[in-house]
Amino acid sequence: MARVALETTLLAHGVPRDAAMPLYDELTAIVEREGARPAAIGVVGGQARSDLSRDEVESLLEVRPTKLNTANLGLALFRKTAGATTVSTTMEIAASSGIAVFATGGLGGVHKHYGTQLDVSADLAAFTRFPVAVVASGVKSILDVVATRELLESLGVPVVGFRTDVFPAFTVADSDAGVDARFDDEDELADFLRFELRRTGRGVLVCNPVPPPSAIAKERFAGFLAEAERRASHAGVSGRGVTPFVLGALAEISAGETLAANLALVKNNTRVAARLASRMVASGN
């Protein structure tokens, strides 16, 4: 049976605590309805796991686990601590477990101050190392979307759109960047993913925009973001703490609008990922 990787950082740091387990239950149900098996990924007791049970996920969330990227994953394994996987570590563990498809919300990418401080998510380089198809709504809207798209091009990462010609920006459906190719047919896209993952041993980004009813207009989001960034600066937040802080502030400032969009897009991405994974297995993966 096809498996679909699900990250734990989304649950631990991307949504309010009381929404985490209900979201987990919804995502696993979506995967199962599409004929695939959910694979919750995280680090528990110093072990990288791609088969966490519901109870294990719940226990992991209770300790507010560290966000793990490919830079600090080894430290958690060596010191036998717990951790929630980001896109990069979910890709690494999924690839080592033979899982070819991963559903998430939005990638990390190039931060807006990259001209004065080199700040680029490990998510992008992970595509050059791990043969996993990642279904996401592009890159998080709080980042430099165009620079992120350009860096993906520089890294040689195939970026394809599922029923879109535009590189989406998380809760914002459009941006000033495009994709390498558009696929409107799920079977054709599944065939391409199977072909490309085997051909290169590298990853593919499948861009699936936020559903139109939940999308936030660019100008409206820009206003929310300006206030969220002001709050982050005032609070002195830095490093790995910036993204979860800003996402939380956005949810508060927008009266839940950004959170609702986030939930809608990750559920939609999970459905698409499960359908693609099932078709990849059915056609020979």
Q: Which residues are catalytic?
A: 7, 140
Which segments of the chain are extended strands (E)? 3-6, 37-40, 42-44, 47-49, 66-68, 83-85, 101-103, 133-136, 159-162, 181-183, 204-207
CA distance 159 to 131: 14
- Among 110, 273, 270, 263, which residue's Cα sits nearest to residue 177? 110
Select from 143, 150, 157 the least CA-distant residue to 109. Answer: 143
d(CA 29, CA 15): 18
| Beta partners for residue 29, in sequence order | none
Q: Is 250 left (phi over 0), alpha (psi -120 to 50) or beta?
A: alpha
CA distance 198 to 201: 6
